[in-house]
Every structure is written in C-alpha cells, then in structure tokens.
C-alpha cells in the first residue's frame, strides 16, 4: 500500500532555505529608509514657489485704496480667510466620502493558480484501513477564477447615514467659521485703516514740526552760547523743545506701524508702499455711523446670526445624532450578499454560477456597552447645550459692551473734533503773532505740536469709533457678502462690501444677506424661542 498520507513533518530542502533567507534579507534591505535632507537648490525652489503662492494672484495696487477696497482685499486675499475656505472645501469632500459609505460594497476579484504537478489525492477507509481511488485529481494544474460580490450590511448603512449627516453638520460648521473670519477681518481692517489714515493726514505736519523744532533748538543753543538769554530759561526752552521732538518722534514711530499691519491684512507683500484714499468728510465726522436701533433688537439679531451660536447649534445636532448611532449599534446586523462566480476548472460541471445569501450577526457585548455609550452621548448633548447657552450670554455681553463703547466714543469724538478746532485757531493766532515777532519760534513749535496732537487724537478717536461700530456689526454676525456672486473679482467684491457697509452705517441691518436667505421657521424671531432637547429643527438657523 502506498503511503501518501505520511504524517511526519518534512524538512525544507537546503536550496529552499537559501532562497527563503535571501528573500528575507532583500525585503529587510528594501524596507530600510535613510534620512534624505533637501538640497540648497530644493530649498531655494521652495521659497520661490511659496512667495509666488503668497502674492502671485494679489491684484496690483495702482490707485489709492479706500476703506471698502481695503475690506474687500482682506476678504479676497487674506491667508487666514483662504485657509477657512480650504477647510470648508475639505469638509465638503469629507461629506462626499461619508455619503459613499452608505452604498453597498461591490467587490470584483480575479485570480490565477498554477502548479508544476497535479493535485493528486487518495482516500482511505477508516474502518478497514484500505486505500481506495488512489492517484486521482479533480482540479486542473492551471485554473482561473473570478467573482463579483455585492454585500450590503443594513446596520452599517444606518450608522453611515447618521455619520454622513454629522459630516454635513461639520461642513456647515466650517461655513460658520468662515463667516466668523470675515467678521473679524472687517473689524481689524476698520481699525488698521483709520489708524493708517490718521497717520497719512498728520505725517507731513509732524515732519514740519520736527524741522521747525531743529531750527528753534539751534536758535536757543546759539542764544545760550552768546549769553543772550538767562541760562536757566535757555535750558528750560531747550528741554521743552527736546520733549516736543520726542513726542513727535513717538507719534511717527506709532504711525509707521499702521500701514504694514493694514498691508498684512490685505495680503500685500511686506514693504509694499501704497496710498490711502481717505474720504474728506471723515475729517469733519460727517460720516459717523448711525446705530439708533434699540439694544433689544441688536441682541435679537446677534442671537440669530452669530457664527459661534450657529456652530454650537450644529454641534448640538451632532450630539443628538451620536445618541441615535449608539442606539443602532445595539441592534443585530443583517448582511445581504449576491455574487456571480466563475472557475475555469475543466473537471467542474458548472463553470459559471450565481450565489445569494443572508447573514445575521449580533455582537452581544454591544448590549453591555450600549447603555454606557447612550449615557456618554446624552452627556455630550447636555454639555453642547450648556456651552451654547454660555456662548449666548457672552454674545449678549459683547453686544451691550460694544454698544456702550460706541455711544461713549461718539461723544468723545465730538469733543476731540472741537479740541482740534480750538488748537487750529490758536495756531493761526500764534502764526499771525509770530509774523509780527510777538512770539518766539519756540512758542510756535509748541503750538504746532499741540495742534498736531489734537488733530491726531481726533483721528485716533474716529478710528476707535469706527472700530466700535465694527465690533457691533461683528457681534451681530452681519454678512457683507452673499453665498454666491456672479463675479469674484476685486471690483465686484468692493461694490458688494460698500453696499453692505453703507446700509449698516445708516442703521439698516435688514439688508443682511443672511436674513435674505432665511425662510419659514428660520426667521430671526425664532432665535428668541427656547430650544427643546431632541428637536432637530431647533438649531439656531442655518446658512448655506
């Protein structure tokens, strides 16, 4: 009797051992990675590419920049805003991927199998020990197989469905973060622009004062050297001049930082010089923003439109969806399969066939973990709701503080403008008196410096007033741009920003494009209604 079923363990041939050892050594060598530092040329190319990416598509500055164009440039070219746009696009891509997870799996497989010898088998009678049907085969030495299988797990579909809805809410959250970035950008541009505008208006005057002070200082020192003045009096005059010069130089130093900050916000290259188109009426305060709506209405608008509150509402919605996912995971999974298969084996009676099946699986440990997951989801929901309430309180506080600051600064600006007028009149009198030699050059310098400080203080106060107005607009979540625009060039964005800001400064907040988008239950009045836990409709509104 042939013994084809030797139960002993056969040793590998020596040649096979050598081949196996050589193959393992080759795999280890291939998996070894050594540090590969970038060359100086590669770093230079990286720097060149980064600079082109930073400023390559920024529109050139050919004309003086006005306040609306400055805001439009910040919205269009600021890197922080670009990053939020990219994150929004990434969130949309994640939503697409999550939607595909709800589809059934369709797997296609093909394979080839070859042997140098036939797959020969024999059988043995377990009662008699006799071997029968020796040296038979039921398979070709070379076979080709293929199959296509469709698998659908109903439980996974349910979990993926809620996961896709969560990704959709995250995409909406990124939209709210983008809105918040725009609001902050406009607020910062307002502050930087009017500070730079004040610098542009008084810079030449400060330079003239420093020149006059140098002449006066030389005159005082000459008089002191020739003993034409009392030494103590001369020293006091010299001290006054030096202190005035230090004040003017400090003002210049502060002013020099305004334009680089504004250029950075607008996405301009560092060191890029540009002029500002400052409206003439701004010097007289004729375009002071008007916010005469009751504070209760401002609070209502802020609770409805603020991005932080809408973001928190979407997170609350995701917390509720997480509760449903935890409940689904406690259920048994039902998997349906359908497959078409092929085998080239010539010994098979049917080389093509179709299979269907259904399988139920239930991880009983999920029943144990389920209550804990449900409790965690419920706790997260409560935390999200409490956080939203805390943010609501912070928003209401911001609106009230910004409104009080705006009201105070309006009065402060009127007084600063009046002081500017008084100092300017005094300077005119001193100038006339100096022409008749009634006053000294030192008095003239001090008067010019005082008038310049008053003028600069007026501009600074006006900038603070504009900044306070910007904080009110930002605290209410007012949007300067619609979700879709026919054109996104700089001129179109500037026109849109000008239209929005002009309406806001006239006290017309109904123009807000977010309010135009809302319909039905998403009217602003809905923001004052208390939220009911578990209601997916109570989300604080939605934006595209």
SS3 per residue for 294-328: CHHHHHHHHHHHCHHHHHHHHHHHHHHHHHHHHHH
139 within a domain of the structure (yes/no): no
Question: What number of CA atoms fall less than 13 Å from residue 417's CA on the CB side?
Answer: 16
Identify whether 399 is part of a domain.
yes
pTM: 0.67
What's the CA gap between 47 and 55, in Å, rounded?
12
Q: Are 514 and 543 in contact (CB under 8 A)?
A: yes
Q: What is the pLDDT of residue 108?
A: 87
Q: Which domain holds residue 281?
A: 61-112+178-526
Note whether residue 124 is domain-resident.
no
Measured CA to CA, the distance from residue 343 to residue 348 in angstroms comes to: 8
What's the pLDDT score for residue 259?
84
Residue 173 domain-assigned (yes or no):
no
Paired strand residues for 110 = 146
**DSSP state, 259?**
H
435 domain-assigned: yes
Residue 284: the pLDDT is: 53
State the Cα–Cα distance between residues 273 and 260, nearest whole angstrom: 9
pLDDT at 52: 65
In a domain, 541, yes or no: no
DSSP-assigned letter for residue 65: B
Sign of CA dihedral 196, 198, 202, 204: positive
| CA angle (477, 480, 483) in 5-degree steps | 95
CATH number of the domain that residue 312 is part of: 1.20.1600.10
Element (H, E) at 147: strand 142-153
pLDDT of residue 290: 76
The per-residue pLDDT for 18 is 62
In a domain, 19, yes or no: no
Q: Tell me the C-alpha to C-alpha distance, in Å, between residue 294 and each of 12, 297, 323, 400, 522.
A: 91, 6, 41, 11, 22
236 in a domain, yes or no? Answer: yes
Distance of alpha carbon 103 from alpha carbon 5, whole angstroms: 48
Q: On the CB side of 423, how many CA atoms lie within 13 Å of its CA?
A: 21
Query: How many folded domains does the chain comprise?
Result: 1
* Angstrom distances, CA of residue 540 to CA of 289, 314, 463, 522: 29, 8, 33, 8
Distance separating the N- and C-terminal Cα atoms of the chain:
82
Query: Which among 282, 209, 239, 237 has a CA at the least distance from the CA of 451?
Result: 209
**H-helix or E-strand spanning residue 352:** strand 352-361
pLDDT number for residue 4: 47
Q: How far apart are CA 337 and CA 154, in angstroms?
A: 11
Instruction: Collapse the DSSP code of 122 into the 3-class scheme (helix H, G, I; strand E, B; otherwise coil) and give the result.
Output: strand
In DSSP terms, 85 is beta-bridged to none
Q: Give the pLDDT means over successive 10-residue stretches in the chain (544 positions).
A: 45 58 69 75 71 65 85 80 67 72 80 82 77 73 88 83 86 85 85 82 81 80 71 79 82 76 83 77 60 84 87 85 81 86 86 88 77 80 83 89 88 86 82 53 78 81 83 85 71 85 77 46 38 35 34
* Long-range own/partner contacts, residues 479-485 (CB < 8 A, 24 or more apart): 479/179, 479/182, 479/305, 479/512, 479/513, 479/514, 480/71, 480/75, 480/182, 480/186, 480/513, 481/75, 481/182, 481/513, 482/513, 482/516, 482/517, 483/513, 483/517, 483/543, 483/544
Q: How much is the pLDDT for 277? A: 83
Sign of CA dihedral 499, 500, 503, 508: positive
The first and second tokens of residue 195, run together, are 């500070």
């Amino acid at each position: 009797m042939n013994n084809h079923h030797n139960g002993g363990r056969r040793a590998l041939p020596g040649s096979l051992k050598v081949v196996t050892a050589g193959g393992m050594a080759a795999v280890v060598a291939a998996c070894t990675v050594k540090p590969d530092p970038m060359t100086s040329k590669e770093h230079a190319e990286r720097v060149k590419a980064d600079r082109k990416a930073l400023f390559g598509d920024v529109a050139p500055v050919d004309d003086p920049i006005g306040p609306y164009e400055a805001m439009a440039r910040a919205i269009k070219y600021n890197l922080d805003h670009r990053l939020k746009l990219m994150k929004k696009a990434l969130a949309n891509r994640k939503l697409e991927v999550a939607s595909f997870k709800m589809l059934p799996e369709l797997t296609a497989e093909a394979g080839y199998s070859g042997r140098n010898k036939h797959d020969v088998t024999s059988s043995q009678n377990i009662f008699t020990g006799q071997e029968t049907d020796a040296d038979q085969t039921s398979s070709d030495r070379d076979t080709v197989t293929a199959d296509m299988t469709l698998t659908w797990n109903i439980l996974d579909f349910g979990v993926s469905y809620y996961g896709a809805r969560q990704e959709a809410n995250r995409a909406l959250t990124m939209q709210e973060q983008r809105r918040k970035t725009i609001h902050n950008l406009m607020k910062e541009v307002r502050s930087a622009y009017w500070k730079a505008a004040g610098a542009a208006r008084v810079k030449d005057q400060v330079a003239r004062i420093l020149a006059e002070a140098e002449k006066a200082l030389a005159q005082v020192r000459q008089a002191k050297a020739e003993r034409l003045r009392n030494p103590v009096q001369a020293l006091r005059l010299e001290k006054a001049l030096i202190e005035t010069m230090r004040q003017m130089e400090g003002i210049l130093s502060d002013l020099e930082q305004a334009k680089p900050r504004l250029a950075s916000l607008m996405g301009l290259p560092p060191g890029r010089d540009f002029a500002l188109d400052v409206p003439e009426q701004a010097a007289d305060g004729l375009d002071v923003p008007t916010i005469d709506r009751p504070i209760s209405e401002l609070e209502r608008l802020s609770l409805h439109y603020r991005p932080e509150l809408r973001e928190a509402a979407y997170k609350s919605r995701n917390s509720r969806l997480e509760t449903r996912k935890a409940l689904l995971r406690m259920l048994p999974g039902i998997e349906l399969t359908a497959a078409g298969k092929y085998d080239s084996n010539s010994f098979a009676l049917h080389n093509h066939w179709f299979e269907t099946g259904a399988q139920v699986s239930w991880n009983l440990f999920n029943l144990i973990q389920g209550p804990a997951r449900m409790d965690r989801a419920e706790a997260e929901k409560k935390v999200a709701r409490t956080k939203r309430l805390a943010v609501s309180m912070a928003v209401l506080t911001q609106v009230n503080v910004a409104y009080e600051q705006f009201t105070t600064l309006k009065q402060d600006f009127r007084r600063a403008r009046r002081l500017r007028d008084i100092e300017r009149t005094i300077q005119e009198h001193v100038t006339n008196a100096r022409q008749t030699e009634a006053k000294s050059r030192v008095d003239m310098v001090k008067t010019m410096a005082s008038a310049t400080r008053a003028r600069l203080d007026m501009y600074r106060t006006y900038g603070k007033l504009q900044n306070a107005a910007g904080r009110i607009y930002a605290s209410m979540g007012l949007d300067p741009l619609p979700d879709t625009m026919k054109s996104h060039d700089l001129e179109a964005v500037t026109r849109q920003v000008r239209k929005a800001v002009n309406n806001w400064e006239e006290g017309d907040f109904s123009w807000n494009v977010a309010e135009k988008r809302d319909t039905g239950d998403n009217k602003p009045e809905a923001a004052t209604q208390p939220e009911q836990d578990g209601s997916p409709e109570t989300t604080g509104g939605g934006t595209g």
